[in-house]
Amino acid sequence: MKSEFNFDVLVIGSGGAGLTLALKLANSHTNVAVLSKFALTAGSTYYAQGGISAVFDANDSLESHLNDTLDSGAGLCDEEIVRLTVNHGKESIDWLREQGVLFTEEQTINGETKLHLNREGGHSHRRVVHTADATGKAVSLSLIERAEENSNITLFENHNIIDLITENNCCVGAYVFNSRKQKVETFAAKIIVLATGGASKAYLYSTNPQSSTGDGMAVAWRAGCRVSNLEFMQFHPTCLYHPAGHSFLISEAVRGEGGRLILPDGSAFMHHFDERGELAPRDIVARAIDHEMKKRGIDCVYLDISHRPASFIREHFPNIYQQCLEFDIDMTQQPIPVVPAAHYTCGGVLTDSFARTDIENLYAVGEVACTGLHGANRMASNSLLECLVFAERASEDIKQKLPTLTMPKNLPFWDESKVSDSDEEVVVSHNWNELRHFMWDYVGIVRTDKRLYRAMNRVELLKKEIAEYYAHFRVTSDLLELRNLVIVAELIIRCAQQRKESRGLHYTLDYPQTDNSKPAQNTVLKPDSSCTPHSK
C-alpha cells in the first residue's frame, strides 16, 4: 500500500533553513514537500530583526570573523565548521540577493552604493548585513515567494510532525497531523530533513514565536538520534518589558549603534562586568542584567539610544520604533524597558558537516541542529548564516544520494482505533504553564545543582502524566507541542547536570569557574532503547 503522500524529499519546517534547502533541491528537478506547523511565516526566521553576519568591509577579514566566533563560543566551537561557515558568508548573501532580498544600502563618498553593515555583540567589525530592523521578514517573504513559484515544491501549511517512521535505522517517512482537517497523514520520502527551529518556548519568557517548541529535537531523539550541548540556551539580553508586549525583541543592533543599558536612576552598569560594555557577548550581558535585577529588586533595566538623532533612530529601527510607540514608548525621547528572555537553542540534534544525523537519510539544518558552529554561546547574526550554509551543504549531499534511493513502500498507517477525543484539555494548558515556569525558575540564566534537581523531579512527573494523556486521547497541535517540549526540557536539564563548570551560556553558582584543567568537552546524550517512537 502506498502512503498518502510520496516525495523525494520531505522538509519539515518553513523557515530560512528549510526553504533554502527546498529551493536548492527543486532547481535540480527534485520533488520536494515543505511542511509548516502553522502559517509559512510563523517560524523564527520571519521575526529575526538583526541580520546575517558576513565579511564585506575592506577592514574586516574572514580570520577576524572566525576568531570572534571562536571567542564567543567559549572553547567549544568546532574550528573547521566555523571556518567552513564564515568562508561561505559572502556567497550566501549573494544568493539571497538573487532570490530578491533587498538589503539596506548606503552611499559612499564617491556616490556609489554598498551594503550597510551593522555591528553587534561579539563582533570586532561591522559585518551584519540587514534589511533595516526586519531582516528575517525580508528573507522569509522572498524565499516563500520563490518556493510558491517553483513547480517542484509543494507547500503544506498547518501540518505538525508527530513522529518519524524508521526501518533498520533508516528514516522512511513521517506521521503528520493536519490541524486544518484534524487528521493524521502518512508521508513517505526518500530523504527527510528536520528544519523545525529551536526550543525557547520551554521557558516562561521568550523572544520566539509560539512554534519554537523543540519538535525536531524531540522526534529525532525518539527515533534514536544523539543530541548535544542543550545546556547552552541563549537568553537575549533585551526583550521589551511591557504587560502587553508579548516578548517583543529589541535588536542587538540598537546597542551596536550606541544604545546604553542603564538602571532606573539612569546610571550605566555594563562597564562593571566587561570592558566591551554593551557589545559584550550575549551571555555576559544577560547575566549582568539578571544580576542587577535580582540585586536591586527591580523588574527591568533600560536601553537608551535617545542621545542619537531622532531621524537616525527612525531610519535604522523603523519597526522597533513603531512597536514601542504602540506601548507609548518613544525611543527617540526615552529609554526602553527591557529584560532578558530565552532566544536561541545553541545545542540540538548532532550532525556532521553535511547536516547528516545518526539515522540514515535523516538530515537536520538550522537551529534544530548542533553543527559545532556556536559552541557554548552563539555570536549574534551567525544563526541565519548557519541556515544558509548548511542548507547548501545538505543539498549537495542529498543530490548525490537521491539517485541511489527508491521510494519507501507499505508504511504502516496511523492507528487511533483505541483512543477518543479529550474531555480534559485543561490538563494540556496546565502542564504547559507548569513546565515553562519551573524551567524559568530552575534552569534559567543562573543555575545550581539544587535547582536542576528540583526541575528534574518535576519533569519526570510531567512526562508520566503527558504520556498517559497522549496514549488515551486523539492528538491535537497543543498536545503534540507539550509532548515534545517536556522531552526537550528533560534533555536540557540532563545536559546541564552533566556540566560541572560554568562555560558560555551555562552558568552555575556551584561551579562558577570554567574548568581549564582539561580540553573543553561537548555534552552528548544518546537515547536508550526505551526512546522509540510509537503510534496510537
Active site residues: 282
**Other C-beta atoms lying within 10 Å of the C-beta of residue 14:** 33
Q: Alpha-carbon distance 137 to 357, whole Å? A: 29
- Residues in CB range of 37: below 8 A, 6 or more apart: 13, 158, 159, 160, 161, 196, 211, 215, 477
The x, y and z cell numbers of residue 310, run together, are 531622532
Nearest one of 362, 12, 443 to 211, comparing CA atoms? 12
DSSP helix/strand/coil, 289: helix
Cβ proximity of 174 and 187 under 8 Å: yes
Cβ proximity of 278 and 259 under 8 Å: yes
Cα 173 to Cα 28, 60, 140, 459: the distances in Å are 22, 45, 26, 29
- Residues in CB range of 310: below 8 A, 6 or more apart: 332, 333
- Residues in CB range of 466: below 8 A, 6 or more apart: 431, 482, 483, 486
Which DSSP state fits 523? Answer: -
Q: Alpha-carbon distance 238 to 340, whole Å? A: 5
Q: Alpha-carbon distance 155 to 33, whole Å? A: 6
Which amino acid would we find at residue 22?
A
Residue 53, beta-bridge partner list = 128
DSSP string covering 253-269, please? Answer: HHHHTT-EEE-TTS-B-
Q: Alpha-carbon distance 327 to 248, whole Å? A: 11
Which DSSP state fits 447? Answer: B
Q: Alpha-carbon distance 194 to 357, whole Å? A: 10
